[in-house]
């Protein structure tokens, strides 16, 4: 019996040992390092806020005088007046150059004389016949009437004598001729008297008026030829070129003097085609000139050309400088053009923008302690900030550092709200103007 009891106890112990061995084999073995858990990554955030932002273009141009001319000769002749030098100021209408042409002065004098004669004849015609001239015409009529009566009486007497053969037929014929002459002279005298008493006809007046107009046109033509010999300034300006001196021979189309109007100086520049539709009068800009370093001038777009430059695919624009500036033609100018103003634009730092494959642009925001990836659309960009037109709302906490290897939904710690050591702060390596993760859009950087 004792042996059986001892054997049962041993079997029980063996069975119990096997069970504990199995349990020990299945239980996890404790890692001495499991006591220290890995912390979520540190990130820095900023709040997206709304601001007024301007879209600008950085361009170059030059100053140009829109009123600039090179005056040329239209007549041939020696120069007898040209006292100007480069830089002289002249007023509109002031004589610049005179060409000596004596023949044109003589033509003017001749034309004036013809006009005076024609005007005098017209005045006499309109005034009518003087009374003394009419009295003289009436006396002339009376004379020829008496002469006619005498000639008729003599003719009748000669005919009667011829019938009695007291005179020759030749004498009768002479008497008849005197009678015919007297009749003709009387008719002529009576016609002149009627004309004098009636005055000039409408046709006579029209003919003489035409003669006056012809003489006046001749004088205007002669004066125009003479005026072409005297060249005056077309506007207030500054002399830039002088091609002739007194004594030189001017020939048609040869340059004489160049000048420009300082009040017409503008800054002319070209805008790329992608921005051409945004150009309009009144856009504000700032201008700096290499000839005046350290000074900045305000201006506005004053003219937008209606078409593109075909070879260059640019649109020409002109701007006027609103402040007092020492401008001269052909100065090199640098411009900052405000294309548009965007009020209440959502702005975030450039470091928050991350480019992914497929040219998709994203940014991470912190929500409930986790990184949330947002697909965004960008608008106006500045040196350190960009506008987000879609994907970010005002007040969102946007990650600007520590977002290099973040995944959507990952737990994060906000470094700039915790008292972490410098060693635990997120690395800023690669963040800045040259960060390859930042997008570079547009030509207005």
Domain positions in the chain = 42-53+343-424, 57-65+264-342, 68-99+237-260, 106-224
Fold assignment, 42-53+343-424: 2.40.420
Cross-strand pairs, 297: 287
- Own/partner long-range contacts of 194-199 (Cβ < 8 Å, ≥24 apart): 196/129, 196/133, 196/134, 196/137, 197/129, 197/134, 199/128, 199/129
- Which pLDDT belongs to residue 421? 37
- Which pLDDT belongs to residue 405? 78
Q: Which one has a higher pLDDT value, 161 or 256?
A: 256
Per-residue confidence band for 316, with pLDDT thresholds at 50, 70 and 90: very high
Per-residue confidence band for 407, with pLDDT thresholds at 50, 70 and 90: confident
- Which CATH entry fits the domain spanning 68-99+237-260: 3.30.365.10, 1.10.10.10, 3.40.50.300, 2.40.50.100? 2.40.50.100
What's the CA gap between 428 and 351, in Å, rounded?
10
- Which pLDDT belongs to residue 4? 52
- Which pLDDT belongs to residue 429? 40
Q: Give the residue from 262, 337, 277 showing the smallest Cα distance to 301.
A: 337
Residues with Cβ within 8 Å of 270's Cβ and at least 6 positions away in sequence, in order, are 59, 61, 309, 312, 314, 315, 316, 317
User: For the domain bounded by 57-65+264-342, which CATH number is listed?
Assistant: 2.40.30.170
- Which pLDDT belongs to residue 106? 92
- Which pLDDT belongs to residue 382? 72
The mean of the pLDDT values for the chain is 81
What's the CA gap between 399 and 401, in Å, rounded?
6
Per-residue confidence band for 7, with pLDDT thresholds at 50, 70 and 90: low
């Amino acid at each position: 019996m004792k042996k059986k009891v001892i054997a049962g106890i041993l079997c029980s112990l063996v069975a119990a040992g096997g069970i504990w061995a199995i349990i020990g084999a299945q239980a996890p073995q404790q890692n001495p390092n499991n006591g220290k858990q890995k912390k979520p990554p540190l990130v820095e955030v900023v709040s997206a806020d709304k601001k007024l932002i301007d879209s600008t273009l950085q361009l170059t141009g030059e100053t140009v005088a829109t009123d600039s001319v090179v005056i040329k000769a239209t007549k041939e002749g020696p120069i007898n007046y040209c006292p100007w030098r480069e830089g002289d100021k002249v007023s509109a209408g002031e004589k610049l150059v005179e060409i000596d042409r004596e023949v044109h002065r003589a033509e003017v004098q001749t034309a004036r004389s013809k006009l005076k004669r024609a005007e005098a004849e017209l005045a006499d015609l309109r005034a009518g016949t003087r009374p003394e001239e009419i009295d003289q015409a009436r006396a002339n009529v009376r004379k020829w009437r008496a002469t006619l009566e005498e000639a008729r009486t003599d003719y009748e007497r000669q005919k009667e004598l011829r019938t009695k053969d007291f005179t020759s037929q030749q004498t009768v014929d002479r008497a008849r001729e005197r009678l015919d002459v007297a009749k003709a002279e009387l008719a002529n005298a009576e016609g002149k008297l009627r004309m004098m008493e009636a005055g000039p006809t409408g046709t006579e007046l029209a003919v003489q008026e035409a003669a006056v107009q012809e003489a006046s046109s001749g004088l205007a033509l002669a004066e125009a030829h003479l005026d072409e010999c005297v060249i005056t300034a077309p506007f207030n300006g500054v002399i830039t070129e002088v091609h002739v001196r007194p004594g030189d021979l001017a020939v048609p189309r040869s340059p004489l003097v160049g000048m420009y109007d300082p009040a017409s100086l503008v800054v002319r520049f070209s805008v790329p085609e992608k921005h051409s539709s945004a150009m309009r009068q009144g856009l504000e800009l700032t201008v700096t000139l290499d000839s005046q370093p350290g000074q900045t001038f305000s201006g506005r777009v004053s003219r937008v050309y209606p078409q593109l430059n075909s070879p260059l695919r640019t649109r020409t624009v002109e701007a006027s400088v609103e402040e007092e500036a020492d401008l001269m033609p052909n100065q090199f100018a640098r411009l900052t053009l405000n294309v548009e103003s965007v009020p209440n634009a959502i702005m975030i730092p450039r470091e928050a923008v991350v480019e992914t494959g497929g040219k998709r642009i994203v940014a991470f925001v912190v929500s409930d302690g986790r990184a949330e990836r947002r697909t965004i659309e960008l608008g106006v960009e500045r040196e350190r900030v960009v506008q987000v037109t879609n994907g970010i709302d005002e007040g969102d906490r946007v990650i600007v550092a520590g977002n290099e290897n973040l995944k959507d939904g990952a737990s994060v710690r906000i470094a700039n709200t915790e008292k972490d050591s410098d060693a635990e702060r997120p690395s800023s390596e690669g963040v800045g103007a040259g960060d390859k993760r930042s997008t570079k859009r547009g030509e207005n950087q």
